Structure 1
Amino acid sequence: MNIGVLSVLLLITSCFFTPSSIKQIFSEPEFKNQKANLNLLISNGLSGKLAPQESIKSSKINFKDIPSLLIGGEKALYSYFKIAKERYKDSVLLLDSGDLFKTGSSEIEIQKVISLYKKIGFDAVALSRRDIKELSPFVGEKNFEIPFLLSNVVDIKKMRPLKKNGVIPYKIINKGPFKIGIINITSMKRFRPGLYMEDPILTIIKIKKVFRKKKVDITILMADFDSKCISTLIQIPKAFKDFKKHQLKCPPNDPLYTFIKRIPPTSVDLILTNNKIQAQGFLKNIPIIQTSGEGKYLARVRLNLEPQSKKLDLKRSFILPPILTCNSFFNSTKDCYLGEGETYFSKENARIEIIRKSSYKKIPATYLGKTIPVSDNLVTN
């Protein structure tokens, strides 16, 4: 393509894409109260990252002098979850699917993460095999005062699921007229003497019997597997009814995919995993949710139930685009997205030009109509 033609195309592109026509990517600055029975906000794979990080820039875009904005960090995480609770009130469910701590955490570092999680007020937190390893030297008889779940690790002496330090095998949560049951399974094979890992399928079958007796409407499974299943980042909601169009890509013999083939039909309604890989889609007809972790993204799911049967309404239940935990926005785009590694969307070059033309003006980030505080006060102080 010669230079003249390229110049014309760039001119045409800049005419079509004005600040008013740019759509936010992975941000929701305004509150649009789309009624739902349940709004899920989900984190995973924090790995002890309590400080903000620079936003990632796509290698496929020429950024030149465009500065990165900060994402994540304890202040932002606390604020995004707090705002979700304030906006959605009794219809919000805050979950974390595990891997809270970095490898080789000190006791002080562990306490800071625990302090943050207590202040956020999660409804349930998965205890992963890596979390167990990091906590083991320090736990003693402490009760962490966090709703840690671990379902398929059995205390041989007592012949029952492990219950220690406030850890419980499952949780039933009442939200409005509905009951949500949450299970967490791990694939860890080596434990301390006196403990063993029960087959996750057997665990699910046992707990589902309890859920049926207690008339649980929705079952959420948190699964600790080294899965490499992936999806592209999504910009528009994916309806549960369209699961065939949005299947995840998995390598042969992937442990998560192999596990799902063994699950009894209709056992679980949603699976949350903790690998730091973007995966928002379906395996068979089961929604699978995880993000790249480290507090950078929060996954979102909107669930609606059929009033009479109390089963999931597949037409009105959605995997939503994740939220990037921006500390501030570019004023011209009302987000902080600059691509991610090799991932970028069409029209992004036009977005970059608009950011440049605005002289990179920044404004405080907002979520659901409320400002993300930029105070230097740390949540874990």
Structure 2
Amino acid sequence: MKNLLKLKVTNLLIPLLLISCQKEISTHEFSRPKSPKKINLSLDKNTKRIVIATTNNFNSAVSGVTDSTLAQSPMALGGADFLPTYLNILRKEYKNEVLLLDAGYLVNKKKNPVANKKTLKLFEMLGYDAVLLTENELLNLKESYGTTVPFVNSNIIELKKLEVTDHFGSRPFIIKEVNGVKVGIVGITSYKPELKGESEIAGLLFDDPVARLITMKRILKEKTDIIIALVHMETHCSSQESKNLKECPDNKEAFRKLIKRFPPNLVDIIIGGDSNYAAGFIEGIPVLQNYGHGKFLGQLDIYYDLNKKEIIKEHTKIHKPTKLCSRFFMVSQDCHIEADDVTKIKRVKDSRYQTDTAKFLGKTITPDLDIVKYLNATELKTN
């Protein structure tokens, strides 16, 4: 009887021992399933929060992307199915504090014109506050498409008029009032045109980015409380097929060189438009950029003191990008897995590839089928 009892105890302990010996795996990678901690700002009516939500390098990924890192468990990501859902949750959580921006390259020259037109329509429906106009949009979109996307660009000059271009209704700056704070949004691209083969941008001058930002600062100084610059840096990473490019030292160095040319207090925030991860403070300025391709949503929270008329820098929070998952792997509560992460792959495999409902800020993720149906049903002229 005593031996039988020992055997039962041993049988119970062995699984527990095996579990305890398993290597830890990364969990909640690029996911935020829990409700955010509430911050009480009512005690100080002069402190205003602004939640800046960002996308970049969307690349006409209106149909979303399938991550097949695990062939046995392919995962649908982003696009018109899931980006609207994540944005709706963010807006319901933070209400009038949200500012939605995109740092350009929203279309892809390799995609058919219908995909590019659907992307424009999706951006209109999602209610972006400003979208950077770059050489990519000028080269791959047609005026005949017609769009109400709020494009902004401050350094592409039409030589005939000696004015900032108004292609696709673009403006040199956009001013939005967010939670009582006046936000000026400007945009620059560092593109260097080819000598030939780019007739769509003939007659356009890509002016010095810093010189144009200084001009915008003079114009906006008395009109706004803070200035956000949407910036696309032309680097070697820009020309690569960079869906799986994790980091780009060249891109960060390009930001650093650009910012070092800034006079003091030129801009308050930079949103980058290349398709690699760059987030943090560069020369004291918060910079936010995610991997793009319609798979991620960036978030930057700032707090503004209405009395002192300045950002409370110590409270600035740069969130890791949120991956726009359709579902989560059960064992890790995320949908992100690297091809060389053998430990995590094994744990997912051992769980028989079980998945769970994806969540964002405590809310369940479901596809926005209404938007998908509308985009698929709408006749989109492309000539």
> Structure 2 vs 1, CA of residues 252 and 28 (structure 1 numbering), >3 Å: closer, same or farther?
closer
> Quick one: which amino acid aligns to residue 192 of structure 1?
I
Query: Does 2:128 match 1:122?
Result: yes
Please name the residue that 1:14 is paired with: 19
Query: Does 2:183 match 1:180?
Result: yes
> Quick one: which amino acid aligns to residue 14 of structure 1?
I
TM-score, normalization by structure 2: 0.78
DSSP-derived class of the 1:380 partner: helix
Q: 1:215-249, CA deviations, whole angstroms, 9 ceiling, x for partnerless residues?
A: x22211111212469xxxxxxxxxxxxxxxxxx98
Aligned pair partner of 2:361 in 341, 351, 368? 368
Please name the residue that 2:34 is paired with: 30
Please name the residue that 2:218 is paired with: 209
Gaps of 5+ in 2: 1-14, 40-47, 194-199, 238-246, 377-383
Q: 1:125-156, CA deviations, whole angstroms, 9 ceiling, x for partnerless residues?
A: 11121121101xx214x641011111111223
Aligned residues of 2:33 and 2:362 also touching (Cα < 8 A): yes
| TM superposition shift of 1:361 | 2.3
| TM superposition shift of 1:257 | 2.7
Task: Quote the Cα distance in structure 1 between the aligned partners of 2:318 and 2:175.
Answer: 22
Please name the residue that 2:93 is paired with: 87
Q: 1:332-371, CA deviations, whole angstroms, 9 ceiling, x for partnerless residues?
A: 33211212x56x6xxx83x555544543222332212222
Select the structure of larger CA radius of gyration: 2
Q: 1:101-147, CA deviations, whole angstroms, 9 ceiling, x for partnerless residues?
A: 11244432221111111111111111121121101xx214x641011
> Quick one: which amino acid aligns to residue 300 of structure 2?
V
> Structure 2 vs 1, CA of residues 69 and 252 (structure 1 numbering), >3 Å: closer, same or farther?
closer
| TM superposition shift of 1:267 | 0.7
> Quick one: which amino acid aligns to residue 39 of structure 1?
V
DSSP-derived class of the 1:213 partner: coil
Query: Does 2:336 match 1:337?
Result: yes
| TM superposition shift of 1:31 | 2.0
> Quick one: which amino acid aligns to residue 30 of structure 1?
K
Please name the residue that 1:133 is paired with: 139
Aligned residues of 1:55 and 1:336 also touching (Cα < 8 A): no
Aligned residues of 2:233 and 2:251 also touching (Cα < 8 A): no
| TM superposition shift of 1:16 | 7.2
Task: Quote the Cα distance in structure 2 between the aligned partners of 1:51 and 1:143.
Answer: 21
Give the 5 Å matches for 1:201-350. Answer: 201-214=210-223, 216-227=224-235, 250-251=249-250, 254-339=253-338, 349=343
Aligned residues of 1:170 and 1:182 also touching (Cα < 8 A): yes
Aligned pair partner of 2:163 in 156, 160, 164? 160
Aligned pair partner of 1:171 in 171, 174, 181? 174
Query: Does 2:195 match 1:196?
Result: no
CA RMSD of aligned residues (A): 3.1
Query: Does 2:108 match 1:108?
Result: no
> Quick one: which amino acid aligns to residue 225 of structure 2?
D
| TM superposition shift of 1:17 | 7.2
DSSP-derived class of the 2:205 partner: strand
Stretch moving more, 104-113 or 36-45: 104-113
Aligned residues of 2:28 and 2:333 also touching (Cα < 8 A): yes
Q: 1:66-118, CA deviations, whole angstroms, 9 ceiling, x for partnerless residues?
A: 62322222211121112212221100111111111112444322211111111
Please name the residue that 1:380 is paired with: 375
> Structure 2 vs 1, CA of residues 261 and 13 (structure 1 numbering), >3 Å: closer, same or farther?
farther
| TM superposition shift of 1:198 | 2.3
> Quick one: which amino acid aligns to residue 268 of structure 2?
D
Aligned residues of 2:106 and 2:137 also touching (Cα < 8 A): yes
| TM superposition shift of 1:253 | 11
> Structure 2 vs 1, CA of residues 13 and 295 (structure 1 numbering), >3 Å: closer, same or farther?
farther
| TM superposition shift of 1:373 | 1.6
Q: Give the number of equivalent residue pairs.
A: 338
Please name the residue that 1:232 is paired with: none
> Structure 2 vs 1, CA of residues 360 and 250 (structure 1 numbering), >3 Å: closer, same or farther?
closer
Task: Quote the Cα distance in structure 2 between the aligned partners of 1:146 and 1:53.
Answer: 23
Task: Quote the Cα distance in structure 2 between the aligned partners of 1:249 and 1:306.
Answer: 35
> Structure 2 vs 1, CA of residues 194 and 66 (structure 1 numbering), >3 Å: closer, same or farther?
closer
Please name the residue that 1:48 is paired with: 60
Give percent identity, aligned residues only.
27
> Structure 2 vs 1, CA of residues 252 and 174 (structure 1 numbering), >3 Å: closer, same or farther?
closer
> Structure 2 vs 1, CA of residues 74 and 252 (structure 1 numbering), >3 Å: closer, same or farther?
closer
> Structure 2 vs 1, CA of residues 33 and 144 (structure 1 numbering), >3 Å: closer, same or farther?
farther
Please name the residue that 2:51 is paired with: 39
Q: 1:271-306, CA deviations, whole angstroms, 9 ceiling, x for partnerless residues?
A: 112111111123221222212210112121111123
Gaps of 5+ in 1: 1-9, 58-62, 230-247
Task: Quote the Cα distance in structure 2 between the aligned partners of 1:319 and 1:286.
Answer: 11
Task: Quote the Cα distance in structure 2 between the aligned partners of 1:208 and 1:148.
Answer: 19
> Quick one: which amino acid aligns to residue 91 of structure 1?
E
